[in-house]
Amino acid sequence: MGRRRSVIDATEKVLRFDLALEVFANATCSIVLGDTLADAWAYARAEWPSIDASYDPGDDACVIEIDGRCVMLVSRPLQVDVLAHEAVHVAAWILSSRGMPFDDGRSQESVAYLVQWVVRNAWARAQCVTPCD
């Protein structure tokens, strides 16, 4: 359904690649993976100067809309549950940008944390070599 496009930029501290969803024209999400979240923010601010200099949620990861695209900022090591949480926000942005709003102001974050919890726990159990409790 979606495809990974070529890596746009790779430095020692940051990897950026774009994901494009073919079924919705121009639904592009850039993934910026930094050694730290500060590295990801520094790259994003250099790449997209329209980001308000004061904006910094100070979280482990975030998804923001910049110049009509969705940008996910994450840091290494990337945890699968954090990726799942942020993916909910990406999906919500894509749906909302296509006239299918997903958020009533609270439900998006609630769903994101619930998905994160499910993935964290399922992933941990799937990694067990011997049966888990």
Contact 85, 62 (CB under 8 A): no
pLDDT band at 3 (very low <50, low <70, confident <90, very high): very low
Collapse the DSSP code of 85 into the 3-class scheme (helix H, G, I; strand E, B; otherwise coil) and give the result. Answer: helix
Instruction: State pTM to two decimals.
Output: 0.81
Predicted local distance difference test score (pLDDT) of residue 34 = 94
Please write the tens of the pLDDT for every residue from 43-76. 999 999 998 877 776 677 999 999 888 999 999 9
Percent of the chain's residues with pLDDT above 90: 47
Contact 75, 34 (CB under 8 A): yes
Contact 1, 23 (CB under 8 A): yes
Please write the tens of the pLDDT for every residue from 71-95. 999 999 999 999 999 999 999 988 8
Predicted local distance difference test score (pLDDT) of residue 55 = 73
51 exposure class (CB count in 10 Å sphere: 0-12, 13-18, 19+): middle
